[in-house]
Amino acid sequence: MSSDLAQSLKGLRVLDASRVLAGPYAGQILADLGAEVVKIEQPGSGDDTRAWGPPYLDDLSAYFMSCNRGKRSLTLDLKQAAGRELWLKLVERSDIVLENFRADSVHDLGMDAATMHQRNSRLIICSLSGFGRSGPDADRPGYDFVVQGMSGMMAATGPKEGPPSKFGVAIADITTGLYAAVAVLAALRGRAESGHGYAIDLALIDCAVASMANVGQSFLTTGKVPARQGNAHAQIVPYEAFATSNGWLVLAVGNDAQWRRFCKVAGHDDIALDARFATNESRVRHREVLIPQVGSWLKQRSTEQWIHDLTAAKVPCGPIWDLATLMHSDLAANRRFKIKAKRPDGSDVDLLRSPLVADPGELLAPPALGADNAQILGDWLGLDAQAVARLAADGVI
């Protein structure tokens, strides 16, 4: 981590016209890195996730707060001609636009790449959607849960004999947000060389399928659908969660040397020498015989004792914590998973820290809806208080 990254995008202006999670998550990353990010929201309602609760902190949902720190909020009705003209004036003064409107509405709203590039040829546009901006599914709504189901993720997740399961977080959205941030940073580098802007088309389904990594490649290599493994691993053994005498332990034996050290700690050097288990490939082939034996060993000691003994032997392992245990641990204190941001009333709110930034300095709390209308329109477009009041009276902002 480097605190220098906190200002690496200082001076860049971002219009975040996206909603829910994938786009806002990308915008939050850019804000964490120092960009000025303005969140564009519908007057009166705002981002859908403002209402995704409980839990709430006053009128802000925890969901909304998870992906909108460091931003300012501008309400803008793009269905009105005056709103669209304001939008294009903001575009002229921006470096980056994030949007996830339906493909059939971006032209009507003045948010298509051709229109925006006419006003600002250096603009970097990142359009996010469920299934891409072309093809028969272009207008199909793309929610994370649906994409997890269609991408192979759910078929690969869950107990062997149980139903398919989704991830505990919206992993397709989060992965797409990360890809979007990477794409925008690459486009900034390209713009520095070429002088022109870019239009990036990112689909949740593309990002989710790419994120299948070794599981996806296993299918391409064999033509066989990999079976769900529960908490085990398809290509590494033993690499799963085991019950101990008082709880659970994650055992992650990643190579044959670690396997031998594990067997020594467990008091079973003879098993380490057994040809059926001597190499990872042979352990994978004989997992049905080996795993019950390993499971019986693990039940003979407590989780704490195993962690002590295996850590000393340099065998990867760890406990299974809930968030309360994690956040009250020495690890959390040392790595600073939690940071504080200032709210407009001077109070603090606890937020998750970006892993890219060691010290974010003065961090903006997630904004109230339209809280920054006057400041943004004044700073960016030079509008005075009377002009802003007229726009508000007309329902444009």
Please list the active-site residues.
Answer: 173
Strands (E), the chain: 13-17, 36-41, 56-57, 60-61, 71-75, 96-99, 124-129, 198-203, 239-243, 248-252, 317-318, 338-342, 348-352
Angle at the Cα of 189 (from 188 to 193), degrees rounded to 5? Answer: 110
Counted residue by residue, the chain has a size of 397
CB 87 within 8 A of CB 111: yes
Total Cβ atoms within 10 A of residue 208:
25
* CA–CA gap between residue 130 and residue 146 (Å, rounded): 9
- For 365-396, b/e burial (b = at least 16 CB within 10 A) is bbbebbebbbebbeebeebeeeebeebeeeeb
Question: Helix, strand or coil for residue 152?
Answer: coil
User: What is the torsional sign of CA 136, 112, 35, 71?
Assistant: negative
| Amino acid residing at 85 | E
H helices of 223-322, in order, are 256-266, 269-273, 280-285, 287-298, 303-312
CB 245 within 8 A of CB 301: yes
> Which residues are 352's β-sheet partners?
338
**What is the 8-class DSSP label of residue 130?**
S
55 burial class (0-12, 13-18, 19+ CB within 10 angstroms)?
exposed
Q: Please enumerate in sequence order all residues whose Cβ is within 8 A of that of 5, keeping only pairs 6 or more positions apart, or say none.
A: 33, 34, 356, 357
